[in-house]
Amino acid sequence: MNLKPTKPLSGFIELLPVQQRCFDECARRMQNILKLAGFSRLDLPSVERAEVLTDKDNWDEIETQMFLFQKGDTKMGLRYDGTVGLSRYVAGHLNDLVFPFRAYQFAKNYRGERPQKGRYREFYQMDLDIMGLGTLSENYDAEIVATIAAAYESIAEFIGGINARIGSRPFWNAAFEYFGMSSNLAKTALVLIDKKNKLSESDFLAALKDALGDDFAMKIFDVFSNGYKSLGGKSEGLDDAIKRIDDFMVLLGSLGVKKAVFDLSIVRGLAYYTGMVFEFYLDKYPEWGSIGGGGRYEDLASKFSKTKIVGVGAAMGPSRVLVALMESGEIDLTPFESPIDVAVLVMGANQVAYSMSVLSELRNAGIVAVPYLDTDKKFKNQIEFADKIKSKFSVIIGEDEVINQTLSVKDMVTGDQQNLTLSDTIKLLKGVK
């Protein structure tokens, strides 16, 4: 008989227990930052109607990155990010929520793109959003950036430092208007600006000239050469955009964001964001590109509600960062190798009942305890098991321990062994936790 494959599908992540413990600890720390900032966790469905996930009516032409399927007459798909589900949720609960409404999601998302280092078909994503009805202060945009920075800083011992790059869509919109560019040329320019960091200066200028002509190309190139403030005093729109940038950067400093710079090349989703935009990068691996980012959107739920919902949101990719770093050996997993406080070793069938009562008391005291219940196994096999699971201690229970209502407690590091009461054993184990 042919054995079935044991490897998961390409692009789907499976972690070893020690890796999973590291991932879970990082997720716990990051979510704690969001909870401290007053974000409520939403656990939305992973399956949505296809009409919710896409605006296209033709099933055959829906984006290939979506996982789509059909049950009866209902066409459905797996979520590819948190925004669509959030839009539907907020529009459906307008009368139940308090605005500005702040929420976060930590959930698996699915994309049928080609798997590569740091990019997967199934992955965890952490989304956070602040939404208002009709209007929303740009001060909240700064708070989102600061919250993301704090979330990444909470796991800096594993991923190293991060830095934020801030962009402004209003600045470029005002610049294009001042230059006299058509809307089509402006869209083309934004696409090229978005790719700037992947090109040399000469290649970037050549691409601008090829797409926009020499005049517009040089005007945009000069902005990068001279900085955004070089357009100060040119128009009211530019002056307003420049002031908003300056105020925003000051506010980030007030919120404790240590490493943030304004970057003209940050524009993000061309058809989506309307205000300040931002991306985060690893200090050690800037070549990996953005590890998180977001921005302001002027109408979150327009296809679900006539009520205008303005918001600022962002997404972080813990799967992308942590799994890639673990696979390359960049994260020290040693602290996660010994989660077991004590192994309870049972030296015979007659000792099972007493051993189980001991096990229960240890766990009630908050001690991580794992029993070895194959009582027919020799002591050598049992102590080897305790060693393999890297238990800090072993509690050995034989006939004498049952008679005397005591425990033989072995330190698995030093090899020292002593006979203690259950209460003294608990004190010992809690003292070294």
pLDDT digits (tens, 9 = 90+) for 393-406: 999 999 999 999 99
The full DSSP string for 92-115 is HTTTTS-SSEEEEEEEEEE--SPP
Residues 258 and 172 in one domain: yes
CA nearest to 393, candidates 374, 373, 367? 367
Chain center to CA of 330: 18
Residue 72 backbone zone (phi > 0: left; psi -120 to 50: alpha; other: beta): left
Residues 193 and 132 in one domain: yes
332 in any annotated domain:
no
Could you say which of 294, 327, 360 is where a domain stops? 327
Question: Could you list the residue range(s) of the whole structural domain that residue 422 is in?
Answer: 338-431
**What's the total number of domains in the chain?**
2
Other CB atoms within a 10 A radius of the CB of residue 101 amount to 20
8 in any annotated domain:
no
Residues 321 and 347 in one domain: no
**Taking the model in full, what pTM does it have?**
0.90
- DSSP-assigned beta bridge partners for residue 76: 49, 69
Give 17-24 contacts, CB < 8 A, sequence gap 24+. Answer: 18/333, 18/336, 18/337, 19/323, 19/326, 19/333, 19/336, 21/336, 21/339, 22/158, 22/322, 22/326, 22/331, 22/333, 22/336, 23/318, 23/322, 23/323, 23/326
Instruction: Indicate which CATH number applies to the domain containing 114.
Output: 3.30.930.10
Q: How far apart are CA 412 and CA 20, in angstroms?
A: 24
Instruction: Indicate which CATH number applies to the domain containing 362.
Output: 3.40.50.800
> Could you tell me the CA-to-CA distances from 314 to 40, 104, 341, 343, 420 in Å, in that order?
15, 10, 39, 44, 54
Chain center to CA of 107: 9
Residues 348 and 314 in one domain: no
Per-residue model confidence as pLDDT tens for the chain (433 residues)? 889 999 998 889 999 999 999 999 999 999 999 999 999 999 999 999 988 888 665 555 556 678 888 899 998 999 988 988 999 999 999 999 999 999 999 999 998 877 776 678 999 999 999 999 999 999 999 999 999 999 999 999 999 999 999 999 999 999 999 999 999 999 999 999 999 988 899 999 999 999 999 999 999 999 999 999 999 999 999 999 999 999 999 999 999 998 999 999 999 876 678 899 999 999 998 888 899 999 998 887 888 999 999 999 999 989 989 998 998 899 999 999 989 999 999 999 999 999 999 999 999 999 999 999 999 999 999 999 999 999 999 999 999 999 999 999 999 999 999 999 999 999 999 986 5
11 in any annotated domain:
no
* 298 secondary structure, DSSP code: S
The residue with tokens 């054995």 is 3
